[in-house]
Structure 1
């Protein structure tokens, strides 16, 4: 993962899912921070958990941060 932000989490879609891209490849749709942690573990960051995802500067959060899970920017908490 060489880029400044090698992980991109896109804005929530109408279903509340966010596409997750790592090093240019879409890994899937996440419905929670836990899902993003799972994708990153599968991509080789074995020790990562939800707190690592929330705190990481490697992630470019588009359309809201880790607390945004509904379309239009309403908090999913």
Structure 2
């Protein structure tokens, strides 16, 4: 499941239908992607990140994978 996306969508008071329309896909198609039954396409991830003005990695990377600087 795309927990970061779900959280962000709800915080911004957007519905699944709103984002489905943004991506020009059906609401059911969007729902299946959000719950992890299907994967988002790369261009869809960029569209969503741009819409929310967020870093794509902050939305779609699993929380256990963070963008940290490695120690030398």
Q: Name the one with the larger helix percent.
A: 2
More strand by share: 1
Q: TM-score, normalised by structure 2?
A: 0.29
TM-score by length of 1: 0.28
Larger radius of gyration, structure 1 or 2?
2
